[in-house]
Structure 1
Amino acid sequence: MRSIWNGAISFGLVSIPIKLMNATESHSVSFRQIHMEDGGRIRYRKVCELEDREVTQDEIGKAYEDADGSMIPITDDDLTQLPIPTARTIEIVAFVPEERIDPLQMGSAYYLAASGAPAAKPYTLLREALKRSNRVAIAKFALRGRERLGMLRVVGDAIAMHGLLWPDEVRAPEGVAPDAGVTVRDQELDLADALMDTLGEIDLDDLHDEYREALEEVIAAKAAGETPRESPEPAAPGKVLDLMAALEGSVRAARESRGGERAGAAEGAEVRSLPRRAASARRTPKETGGKKSTSTAAKKPAAKKAEAKKSTASATGKPAAKSGRAAKKTADPGTAKKATGKGATTRNTASKGTAKKTAPRKRSA
C-alpha cells in the first residue's frame, strides 16, 4: 500500500514515526462522458477567465473567495506555517471507551504503519496498551489543508485510524422521526422480534455488490458485441394495510427462505385428531312421562355395573347410591334381558324383587 501522509503519533512525550495509508478502496465502476454523435471524449480544460486561455497545473494555486467576490491567495507555505501542533503530528488527546463514539461521526479509515525500525517498539507499546485498556484513542491531525479529528483503534496487529467529524458537524435529527401519537402493540413487537430471530445473523464476508457484478456483465457483453441479458422485472410492492399481516407474512417468508430450519415448534408440530367418543346416553332423548330410556343399556360394562350395584343393595337391604337407574332398567324383565345379554341368566327372583322395591325412587334430572 502506498502511503499518503508521513508524520508521527504524539503519545505524551513518546513520538512514533508513522506512515498513513488508506485502509479502504472503491470498486465502483466509473464512466467517462462522451459525445453521443461520434463517441468522442468530453474533457474539461482549466481556463483562466481573465486571459481566456488554458493553463497548466503548475500555474494553478489556492485562494479563498471573500464575501465581496475577491480572491485571497493562500500558498502552501501559509498552510505549513500554521501555528498548530498537528501539521505533521497525530496528537493523542484522550482515551475513551469505543461505545462513546457516535457512528455518525465516523468517516474515512486509514492504517498507521510504523516508519522504520526505531518506531517498532513505541508502536507496539501503544497497540498493546489500547488492547489491554479496551479503549480507543482520540487524536487531532491535519490532512489535506485542515485539522481533523481521529479515533485510533487496534485491528489485528495494526493500528487503524478513523477520521471523525467534529461534533458540530453532525446534524441533530430534528423533524426526522414521525409525529407523536403512534402506538405499537406488544403483539407487533413480538412479531418483529420473531422476524429478527428468524433472519438471524450473517457473515459479512458473504455479502457482495450485486449491482457492480451485473454492470460488469453488461459491459463485457457489449464489448463482445452481444446483447446483454434482460433481468427479470421486479415485482411491484403492494400497499401494506395491515401491519400485523405484513409482519406475519415477513416471518413466514423468512422461515421459508431459511429452509424451515427455525420454523418453530408450532409450525413443525404433528397434528393428531382426538379419538371419537362412543355414543352415550346423552344423545338419546328422554321418554315422555318422566321415564328414562333404556336403549343404552345394551352396553355390557353398564350392565355389569348395574349388577354390582343391585347385588350390593340385596346384601345390605338398602339401595346403593345412584342405583335408581339400574333398578329401573331391571324392573322390566324384557328390558333387563336386553341390557344384560348373557348375564341375564345369572339373575334370580330375589334380585328382581329388590329392583321392584327400589323402582319408585326416581333420580333427579
Structure 2
Amino acid sequence: MLHVRSIWNGVISFGLVRVPVKLVNATESHAIPFREIHTEDGGRIRHRKFCELEDREVTAQEISRGYEEADGTIIPITDEDLSHLPIPTARTIGIVTFVPEDSIDPLQMGAAYYLAAGRAPAARPYALLREALRRSDKVAVAKFALRGRERLGMLRVIGDTIVLHGLLWPDEVRAPEGLAPGTDVAVPDRELDLADALVDALGGAGLEDLRDEYREAVEEVVAAKISGEALPEAPEPEHGGRILDLTTALEMSLREARESRAAPGKTGGGTSAKKTPEGRAPAGKPSAKAGQDARKTTKTPAKKAPAKKTPAKKTASRRRPA
C-alpha cells in the first residue's frame, strides 16, 4: 500500500453520486538534488524573502497572497476570500462528460494523481464509478480546482485505482503551423521500406527496460568526489564520416540495430547492463561512507580561516511575496 500524504481532499461528482476521495501524487522525481553554493568558499546560498516597505526579512507565517493591478497597487486576497469563489469545483472533481481515451491529445496531459477512497462510506461509490469507467471503455473529463486555479482533468482506471490526469485547456496548447515541412515533400518507397524495417528492429524493448543513464553518470561523479577518487572519464565522441545519402544512413542504422539486438545482454535503446565501479553508491544516493573512509586516508587541504562577519547589505530590489 502506498503511504504518502494526500495533497487535496474532496469529492468526485458523478451526477448526484458523491465519492469522497483524497488526491495523491502518482509520480516522483529521481533527479540528483544540487544546492546553490558560493563558488569562492563553498558557503550555502539562501534565498530570503524581504518586505519592500519594512526592508526586513519575513517568515512564512507573515506571507499571504495579493493581486497586482496595472498601476502596481496590490490587492490582498485571503483564503477566506477564495472560499467564496462562485464555482462548484473548489472541493469537487466534477465530471462533465465521457469521451474515448484516444480523443484526448497527449499534448494536453500533465501531472498524474492517484485518487484514494476517502472515509469508509466512500468504498461503494468509488467501486461504482470505477466499474462504470471500465464498462464504458471511456474516460471521464472533469473540472477541479487545485493550487489557485480551476483545471481540466481526465479520470481513468489503472488496476483497481482511479487516476486523475491534469489536462491543459485546449487554448493552452500552441498550434504547430510552420514548424515542419509540408506533406508535399516526396519520400521514395525504398526509404520508407527501410524506415519500416528500422522501426521493427528497434522495437521490442519495453519502457521498464530503460534507465536514466544521465542520473547514473552524475551519481558516479558525486561518489568519486566524496571518496576523493579520480573522476570517471567521459567517452570519446564518435568521429564518423558525415553521411549525406539518406538511404545509406537507413541501411547502416538497420544493420547496427539488428547486430545490437542479436548481441547477448542487449535489449535495445541503450539498456544493456552497465558495470558499476567498486564502491559505487546505490541509485539515488551517493555513498557518504566511501567519502568518510577516504578522508581518513587522504590528506585534505587546510581550511581557510572563516571570514569576518559583516552586516548584510541591503539590496536594491526585493522579491514580492508570492
Same fold (TM over 0.5): yes
Corresponding residue for residue 154 of structure 1:
157
Q: Does 1:191 align with 2:189?
A: no
Please report the TM-score for the alignment, with normalisation by the length of structure 2: 0.78
Q: Does 1:202 align with 2:205?
A: yes
Residue identity in the other structure for 1:49: E
Q: CA deviation at 1:236?
A: 4.0
> In structure 2, how many angstroms separate the alpha carbons of the residues matched to 1:179 and 1:116?
55
**Corresponding residue to 1:55 among 38, 55, 58:** 58
> In structure 1, how many angstroms separate the alpha carbons of the residues matched to 2:94 and 2:84?
17
Higher Rg of the two aligned structures: 1
**Corresponding residue to 1:129 among 132, 138, 149:** 132
> In structure 1, how many angstroms separate the alpha carbons of the residues matched to 2:225 and 2:122?
52
Structure 1 residue matching 2:71: 3-state secondary structure: coil
Q: CA deviation at 1:23?
A: 0.2
> In structure 1, how many angstroms separate the alpha carbons of the residues matched to 2:112 and 2:61?
31
- CA change 1:260–1:129 in 2 (3 A) is same
Q: How does 1:287-298 map to 2 (within 5 A)?
A: none
Map Cα deviations across residues 183-202 of structure 1 (whole Å, 9 max, x no partner): 11111101100111111221
**Corresponding residue to 1:138 among 131, 136, 141:** 141
Q: Give ranges in structure 2 of 5+ residues lacking alignment.
A: 265-322
> In structure 2, how many angstroms separate the alpha carbons of the residues matched to 1:87 and 1:238?
60
Map Cα deviations across residues 317-362 of structure 1 (whole Å, 9 max, x no partner): xxxxxxxxxxxxxxxxxxxxxxxxxxxxxxxxxxxxxxxxxxxxxx
Q: Does 1:34 align with 2:49?
A: no
- Identical counterparts, % of pairs: 71
Q: CA deviation at 1:126?
A: 0.6
Structure 2 residue matching 1:3: 3-state secondary structure: coil
- Farther off after superposition, 171-180 or 215-224: 171-180
Structure 1 residue matching 2:150: 3-state secondary structure: strand
**Corresponding residue to 2:46 among 43, 66, 75:** 43
Q: Give ranges in structure 1 of 5+ residues lacking alignment.
A: 262-365
Corresponding residue for residue 71 of structure 2:
68
Q: CA deviation at 1:234?
A: 2.2
Structure 1 residue matching 2:254: 3-state secondary structure: helix
Corresponding residue for residue 108 of structure 1:
111
Residue identity in the other structure for 1:72: I
Q: CA deviation at 1:169?
A: 0.3
Using CA pairs under 8 Å that are at least 6 residues apart, name the structure with larger relative contact order, 1 or 2: 2
Q: CA deviation at 1:180?
A: 6.2
Q: CA deviation at 1:79?
A: 1.2
> In structure 2, how many angstroms separate the alpha carbons of the residues matched to 1:53 and 1:162?
41
More helix by share: 1
> In structure 1, how many angstroms separate the alpha carbons of the residues matched to 2:21 and 2:261?
47
- CA change 1:237–1:182 in 2 (3 A) is farther
Aligned residues: 261
Q: CA deviation at 1:238?
A: 4.7
Corresponding residue for residue 13 of structure 1:
16
Q: Does 1:256 align with 2:259?
A: yes
- Farther off after superposition, 26-35 or 160-169: 26-35
**Corresponding residue to 1:227 among 206, 227, 230:** 230
- CA change 1:147–1:194 in 2 (3 A) is same
Q: CA deviation at 1:179?
A: 5.2
Map Cα deviations across residues 281-322 of structure 1 (whole Å, 9 max, x no partner): xxxxxxxxxxxxxxxxxxxxxxxxxxxxxxxxxxxxxxxxxx
- Farther off after superposition, 71-80 or 173-182: 173-182
Structure 2 residue matching 1:93: 3-state secondary structure: strand
Q: CA deviation at 1:237?
A: 6.1
Structure 1 residue matching 2:43: 3-state secondary structure: coil
